[in-house]
Amino acid sequence: MSAAEFIARLPQAALSLVFLILSQGLAQDEPCQAGPVSTQSGEVCGKTLEAEGKTLMAFLGIPYAESTAGPRRWMPPVPKAPWAGRLRTIQFGDVCPQNYDTSKLPPQSEDCLSLNVWTPQLSPQGGGLPVLVYIYGGAFKFGASAEPIYDGAYLAARHGMVVVSFNYRTGALGFLAGVGDLRGNYGFLDQQLALRWVNQNIRAFGGDPNRVTLMGESAGAASVALHLLSAPASQPLFQQAVMQSNPLGLPYKDLGQARRIGLAYLNATGCRLARDPVQCLRERPVEAILKGEESRLLALSVLSEGLANFLTWSPVVDGMVIREQPLASAQRGGLGKPSLIGTNTDESIVFVAGISSGPVNLIVYTALFNVLMGDAGPAIADRYAPKLLRDYREPLEAFVNDYLFYCPNDLLARLAKAPVHTYRFAHAPAVSLWPNIARCQGKACHSDGLPFLFGTLDRMGNRNPDDQALARETSEYIGQFVKGQPLTGTTGLAWPAYTSSNRTYLRFDIPTQIFQPQNPNCAFLDEIGYQRLH
């Protein structure tokens, strides 16, 4: 049997072990290419690489918590125990289990809580470098820090900052709640532990733990808002925030609503009638856990919950880890940290395409508003489509853009007590992240701005010179914000702070411009209210 045939026949768990031994093994007798660096759990060896004509160091797959398998499934994460010797951290760690094609990434396993650090210097002169910590999106169902689009090398090299990304649990493994004594938020607690790791260890990598910017996109931005507004334990761990495409209009479930989802999930996994349903789930293979997430029973159970179950798996307002809905917190106490808040012009196309790949008729259109918005549904449906149409996709897209993204984020900016800057990413990339959605071609759809920020357009196959120039400009503004510098980009265009009187935005496009968007629907939706539970 050849080596390739042998590896092909290994079970997933064995593959993960082989991957760990080959890529992350202890390396007492091997010289470090970068480091060693001492963390609270032990020494790590990284690697050097080139980016933007500069040499920097990368430490990939550093474990920040113990495995979440077996008895630790649906438990708060446990900090990684100290190891002996030096750990080679030169490859990304395992991906957390999910129903998503990760075949081009490291293997999936429940021993997945690792993080990555890119740094230009381990001992910078004049104190530590600013730190950017990134939380990936993925509807709280999927995602991995190993995705090429999130490579932190460009940002670290171009802006002289330390960049950190990490894995956290998603789906049922990260957010099942209301079953037995399970209170959910396990994936969110992973995020908190990663932030504490940064606070305790980043100085050894050249970073300043008192100059941390927390950034996320989509569900990652929603996570940032929760850390910023609803989770008191998180707030000392970072000083600034960047929220990109946060679906802020969506409410988070309370434990009662989470329990209804949890009971449906027990049915889907065959554990509802077990003497100890949680123990039954812990004994199920991870493949059965993931299969349960795709159950038709589970899909039907969420229809009655309206917007609260637009995201089946998500953080839960439990009154402990997460105290309240983030907008309610902002309306009570304001937004207290300097922040960048932005959305894309065509966020909603992807979400509406998930409902219907073709035209939307009047029956479906009105039914959606009734289900999602309860007693406010008819008035909203009439406002966005006051006359009969053959296809209601455009008014439905306009509503999703306004209610989930633009209007609640604009409201959050108005509630800020610290400086806040707002933007709209309006450029249609030459290579869309959504090649299979025809309506996204020529539009700035959800997530399309990410490779511009990370400088990873090449990794997406986009070498368009105009796009590359806009990527440098987008990244420059973000870098200036993280470093606490004036926001002037690459062209000297000053980005003024948003105030309730000027409501000024930066529009990322060719050319990038300052503008003051006018959206009469926002006052109407503000009155109805966001994050509605019904």
Residues recognised as catalytic: 218, 347, 446
Tell me how far apart the alpha carbons of residues 365 and 381 are, in angstroms, rounded to a whole number.
8
Three-state secondary-structure class, residue 143 = coil
Distance CA 167, CA 113 (A): 5
Residue 355 has φ and ψ, to the nearest 5°, of -85, -45
Long-range contacts of 397-402 (CB under 8 A, 24+ apart): 397/346, 397/348, 397/349, 397/352, 398/348, 398/521, 399/348, 399/369, 400/347, 400/348, 400/351, 400/352, 401/343, 401/345, 401/346, 401/347, 401/348, 402/519, 402/521, 402/522, 402/525
- Other Cβ atoms closer than 10 A to 336: 16
**Residue 401 CA to its chain's centroid (Å):** 18
Please check whether residue 86 is in contact with residue 43, taking contact to mean a CB–CB distance below 8 angstroms: yes
SS3 state at 32: coil
Residue 40 makes CB contacts below 8 A (sequence gap 6+) with 82, 200, 201
